[in-house]
Amino acid sequence: MPDYKPPVTGKYIDPLVDFAFKKIFGNEPNKDLLIAFLNEVFRGRKHIVDLVYNKNEHPGDLRDEGSAIFDLLCTGDKGERFIIEIQRGRQGYFKERALFYTSRLISNQAPKGKRSEWAYNLTEVYLVALLEDFTLAASPAHEYLHDICLCNRHTGEIFYDKLGYTYIELINFVKTEAELETDLDRWLYVLKHLSQMNKIPAYLRKPIFEKLFSIAEYTNLTKEEKEMYDSSLKYKWDNKNVLDYAVKEGMEKGIAQGIEKGISQGIEKGKLEEAMAIARELKKEGLAIEFIAKITKLSIEEIEKL
């Protein structure tokens, strides 16, 4: 394994850590932050006035049908549904999972009866995905914002404008402070660099960003929140460390063998709860339970209960 360097907590929490992202954007008192961010993402195509947070687990219609679990799920003031996801590393069938998530929200709008009266009056559904350490396949270099919709392949004319996918590749967002022009630039810069900052810079002296910095200050967290953040940060770092090792091994001995060995060795050096955390993440990403059991050394029964 690479040399282990424990994660260091700075003055501000890392908004791309699961706990921190939900602390900043997923709480009712802070929904103005999420509204402001989404309005910049849509760049005038939509103007969101209010949001209601929904449960992030969306069960299937049948007992044995899997649930769709979102990072954040919200309903806008006009009934629109917004899925906001953070994806740290590349995974198989990522685009398919996004289609599955949005399709679930669309199909569940159908009433149990009187469908003819409903007349397929669908509300809008959007997915906004922040990609931290990878890009979409065949993505142009240095292009970080992808606005996807259904359109005519030949003319480019939009065919249906009530379903959309926005992918933001933070690894390709390389603007410096001097190059920030829009508030969307400033949001993405803060998301990517907040944990390395020591104070709010002058170009972010706006009420919405001042609130963000205040919420994100580590010393403003409760004791319980600090423990949750520290654990979430450690998991993010450990998972990256393990996957980095897997990639290294994969280059030398083959991708499949390297992933299995890298993750297994990472777990052997850790604790049971870290193995459970990795298993939970792999299960969320749709990997087979038998494969997860093989590389984490957990039982199938333990993984099924996660």
pLDDT reported for residue 14: 94
- pLDDT tens profile 151-197: 999 999 999 999 999 999 999 999 999 999 999 999 999 999 999 99
The residue-averaged pLDDT of 55-76 equals 68
For the chain, give the mean pLDDT.
Answer: 83
- pLDDT tens profile 251-264: 555 545 555 555 55
Global pTM reads 0.75
Residue that wins the pLDDT comparison between 240 and 288: 288
- Here the tokens at position 102 are 């949005």
pLDDT reported for residue 130: 96
The residue-averaged pLDDT of 270-290 equals 69
The residue-averaged pLDDT of 45-70 equals 72
Residue ranges per structural domain of the chain:
18-221, 225-304
Q: DSSP letters of 210-276?
A: HHHHHHHBGGGS-HHHHHHHHHHHHHHHHHHHHHHHHHHHHHHH-HHHHHHHHHHHHHHTS-HHHHH
- pLDDT tens profile 221-233: 999 999 999 888 8
Structural contact between residues 129 and 82, judged by C-beta atoms closer than 8 angstroms: no
- pLDDT tens profile 105-158: 999 898 887 778 888 899 999 999 999 988 887 777 789 999 999 999 999 999
Residue that wins the pLDDT comparison between 63 and 24: 24
Rounded to whole angstroms, how far apart are CA atoms 137 and 95?
10
pLDDT reported for residue 114: 76
Report residue 284's pLDDT band, with 50, 70 and 90 as the boundaries: low
Report residue 62's pLDDT band, with 50, 70 and 90 as the boundaries: very low
pLDDT reported for residue 293: 75
Residue that wins the pLDDT comparison between 274 and 124: 124
Structural contact between residues 148 and 167, judged by C-beta atoms closer than 8 angstroms: yes
Structural contact between residues 71 and 284, judged by C-beta atoms closer than 8 angstroms: no
Q: Other C-beta atoms within 10 Å of 16: how many? A: 18
The residue-averaged pLDDT of 279-302 equals 72
Rounded to whole angstroms, how far apart are CA atoms 261 and 46?
47
Rounded to whole angstroms, how far apart are CA atoms 275 and 194?
29
Report residue 90's pLDDT band, with 50, 70 and 90 as the boundaries: confident
pLDDT reported for residue 178: 94
The residue-averaged pLDDT of 11-38 equals 94
- Here the tokens at position 47 are 């103007």
- Here the tokens at position 108 are 């569940």
Reduced to 3 states (helix: H, G, I; strand: E, B; else coil), residue 119 is coil
Report residue 248's pLDDT band, with 50, 70 and 90 as the boundaries: low
- Here the tokens at position 23 are 């602390």
The yes-or-no verdict on residue 24 having pLDDT over 50 is yes
Rounded to whole angstroms, how far apart are CA atoms 24 and 6?
24
Rounded to whole angstroms, how far apart are CA atoms 234 and 231?
5
The yes-or-no verdict on residue 206 having pLDDT over 80 is yes
Amino acid at 250: G
Rounded to whole angstroms, how far apart are CA atoms 289 and 300?
7
pLDDT reported for residue 262: 54
Rounded to whole angstroms, how far apart are CA atoms 190 and 50?
23
The residue-averaged pLDDT of 56-68 equals 54
Residue that wins the pLDDT comparison between 267 and 20: 20
